[in-house]
A and B are shown apart, each in its own frame.
Chain A
């Protein structure tokens, strides 16, 4: 059974058809990258999956269950988790508190503290734990939010541009982290512009263009596809 299945998903913003009959299936355990030029409807697709937007028509199935009309928090309880494009950390709170809020519904007391310490070490933010999250560098904020997202132990992790604002080294480390999480059984759907990152992690790639699925395949197939190059990679390389 597929983990996530989008069936003929449609979304209009006024006259703009941002999601046009999108079909997408994710198998459990895969790392799937969603690419496409700006305005292709990638982030909108995430918001539909998360229940922040509701589709005009179509269905969203998660692990066989129709979640199309579920509220966002209920979808999180089913095993979804997200890192937003603009890092959504609790800016006024300390790094430690950010993680505590993410972890407190699963752990309590001394176990909670130990779990926070473990996650801080995993993210390399141990020395920043008392720092106000708003004062972190952009890359560190990204890591913190990834940490919060994975602390829920989701079955499907949605990453919206996880490496934006990161140095090549940080990007590579993030890629390794995604692979490590994947090896532990986490399915990942990532929106990414950094093709090095996509090449590093993606097992399958879907190209979105003008709200429609334009192409799908391995990274090599996508790169070899001249139509894709014309709309997206061509622009990126120009």
Chain B
């Protein structure tokens, strides 16, 4: 019981913006709106909202590795792709009966995480840091994209799952929950919406607890001054590797959900544009804070989609302009900057009132 209490106390702390009854009141309202929203909307719009939610996990992965850990990974899409393809290969081979899609969901994320263990081990214990970490991770995701793009021939298959080259894999079953009577199939509307919303809230709160724990302290310490962190007795490469693997698993969640949502996955999900976009969402929102990342990602994604209606190339140019403006005006992120400003304003008002 006391362990549980101390766990929940870590929901607030120096590593996460937002505390006290006002913040959690707002959180509850947003959550209530989120839960009630499908009742007032149509299946297509709800499915589209799920699409936004799906990307938040990969944004959180970058927030963790880059914002908190200080290591810029340009290749989170590699883990996205591995998990996405992993889910496709597993479910196309074994089907969706007996809750197998849920097993495939977990297994695909584990595969992505194991790949991160391997890659991360060589990077961190090989002392690759700074811009070189970005270059290596980008190279890995582009390499995977190129590799998958040339798998069009019939010889490229795993079991009964054809990899299909540039066209990608499709027709894998959506997530299916076994249920007495009839299994619940989570198509890309209300069913999947609640599944992803639940997962998102769980991951967000779990990451808040993690970042405000002693583990989170060390991660932030490594970002601030790796030499000092090591000279306090922390095996920093171990901590960096663990963070990288957690991040890969988060990117993997995005990959699996994306595949299950649209029932397809293509190599371009690991390409240059796909790799660059999460960086923009996270930088614009505020990479060093979980809440800013979630809010920023959702806002930018929605704006991006609205712009795409008028022309997708303009939308990408707009993304670039947005990134430049963020770096110039609020290098720590627009949402985080706004939240800090509001916090200071509130403090000043209470001071004046008191």
Contact = CB atoms under 8 A, between A and B. Distances in A.
Contacts of A148: 228, 232
A94 B14 contact: yes
A180 to B, nearest CB: 22
A202 interface: no
Contact of A102 (B220, B223, B232): B232
Contact of A92 (B224, B231, B236): B224
Nearest to B222: A90
Contacts of A89: 225, 228
Contacts of A97: 14, 217
A127 interface: no
B6 interface: yes
A73 B220 contact: no
Interface string B123-153: 0000000000000000000000000000000
Contacts of A100: 217
Interface in B211-253: 214, 217-218, 220-221, 223-225, 227-236
Contacts of B220: 90, 92-93
Nearest to A112: B214
Contacts of A71: 235
B236 A109 contact: no
Given A73-B234, A76-B231, A148-B232, A109 B6 contact: yes
A101 B231 contact: no
Contacts of B232: 76, 101-102, 105, 148, 152
Contact of B230 (A73, A92, A94): A73
Contacts of A94: 14
Contact of B231 (A81, A105, A109): A81
A197 interface: no
Contacts of A72: 230-231
A81 B231 CA distance: 7
Contact of B221 (A77, A81, A90): A90
Interface string A62-79: 000000000111001100
Count chain A CB atoms within 10 A of each CB in B218, B220, B225, B234 and give the residue with the most.
B225
A136 to B, nearest CB: 14
A102 B223 CA distance: 15
Given A97-B14, A101-B221, A84 B228 contact: yes
Nearest to B227: A88
A93 B224 contact: yes
A104 B217 contact: yes
A100 B215 CA distance: 12
Nearest to A108: B214
Contacts of B235: 71, 73
Interface string A117-155: 000000000000000000000000000010010001000
A189 interface: no
A73 B236 contact: yes
A82 interface: yes
A52 B220 CA distance: 21
Contacts of A93: 14, 220-221, 224
A91 interface: yes
A104 B220 CA distance: 14
B242 to A, nearest CB: 15
A104 B214 contact: yes
Contacts of B225: 88-91
A18 interface: no
Count chain A CB atoms within 10 A of each CB in B14, B214, B224, B231 and give the residue with the most.
B231
11 contacts: A50-B231, A71-B235, A73-B236, A76-B231, A76-B232, A88-B227, A93-B224, A101-B217, A101-B221, A102-B232, A152-B232
A-B residue pairs, 6 tightest by C-beta = A90-B224, A76-B233, A88-B228, A104-B214, A101-B221, A73-B235
Given A81-B231, A90-B228, A93-B14, 7 more contacts: A76-B233, A88-B225, A90-B224, A93-B220, A97-B217, A109-B6, A145-B228
